[in-house]
Amino acid sequence: MSIIFHEPILVIGGKGKVGRRVADRLTSRGFNVRVGSRSANPRFDWNDRQTWGAAIDGVQAAYISYYPDLALPGADEAIRAFTSFAVQNGLKRLVLLSGRGEPEAQEAEQVLIASGAEWTVVRPSWFAQNFSENFFLDGILAGEVVFPRDGVLEPFIDAEDIADVVVAALTDDRHIGQLYELTGPRMLTFRQAIAEIAATAGRDIRYIPVSVEDYAVELRKQDNIPAEFVGLLERLTREVLDGRNAYVTDGVQKALGRAPRDFSDYVRATAETGVWRT
């Protein structure tokens, strides 16, 4: 059964890859959307609990994306504090963006499940949009992508599919109490993904494999990457990209009744925008 919230739907992380797509979809369907971010009005800051009250005022449903990542120590406690505060102040439905293959993220999931709210967990694989919206984009434009884990397979998921599932969970009762593990329909190595992008974009892009240790050293040389993100990326590449996620799921099919978008569909659509042109 579909629902209509007359109150605002809070989209925490509403300027991120998934969050802004969720906000756009909800807005286009006529929902009143409140973006939760440090630059919004009212603002929302995970590190400043004084901002939470105004952000959730009058809200009955929220999408939760934790910044900077659920894999960081203390994330589950932040989720516990927020969900407890939210439920006490009238929020009925919470949808959490989790992390695949991350034990810390799964601890946060359990916090959500125990919160007393109508809950849905969305647990996606590596975003396809990491190749076009940040992370790998500079390397692709430079024609040289340096990354470890050369042979590890990953079923890249399109953020458009993730957003479709989140919106369904926020607006349809059928998704209450569901955990959706979302992947694309096939697995590729990072080298294969870069090769597909290069072929479609008509570019010569080299993939250069390195060790996790050397990758972390190179990250620390970049002034635009905060130290906590260097540690996070090193941990994720070492622990999560170790082959544990090398399998495909039917989460998108279960949630939406259709197959997920293929990585090739993402590559073709993104190449047409010109983002990979030098």
Helices then strands, counting H and E runs in the chain, come out as 11, 10
Q: If pLDDT is split at 50, 70 and 90, which confidence band does 148 have?
A: very high
Q: For tokens 């293929």, what's the residue?
A: 262
Instruction: Kindly state whether residue 83 falls inside one of the protein's structural domains.
Output: yes
**DSSP secondary structure letter of residue 41:** S
Q: Dihedral angle at the C-alpha atoms of 32, 36, 42, 47, nearest 10 degrees?
A: 160
99: CATH:
3.40.50.720
Tell me if 269 is assigned to some domain: no
Q: Among 3-7, 67-71, 73-77, 251-255, name the one with the lowest average pLDDT.
A: 3-7
241 assigned to some structural domain: no
Decide: 190 and 149 in contact? Cβ < 8 Å. yes
Structural domain boundaries, residue 101: 9-127+156-184+247-260
Q: For residue range 38-55, what is the model confidence (pLDDT) as tens digits?
A: 999 999 999 999 999 999
Letter string b/e over residues 66-105, b meaning 16 or more CB atoms within 10 A of that residue's CB: bbebbbbeebbebbbebbeebeeeebbbbbbbbbbbbebb
Report pLDDT digits (tens) over 112-139. 999 999 999 999 999 999 999 988 999 9
Phi, psi of 147 (to 5 degrees): -160, 145
- CB contact at 8 A, 60 and 92: yes
pLDDT above 70 (res 4): no
Look at the chain and report how many structural domains it folds into.
Answer: 1
Contact criterion met (CB below 8 Å) for 108 and 96:
yes
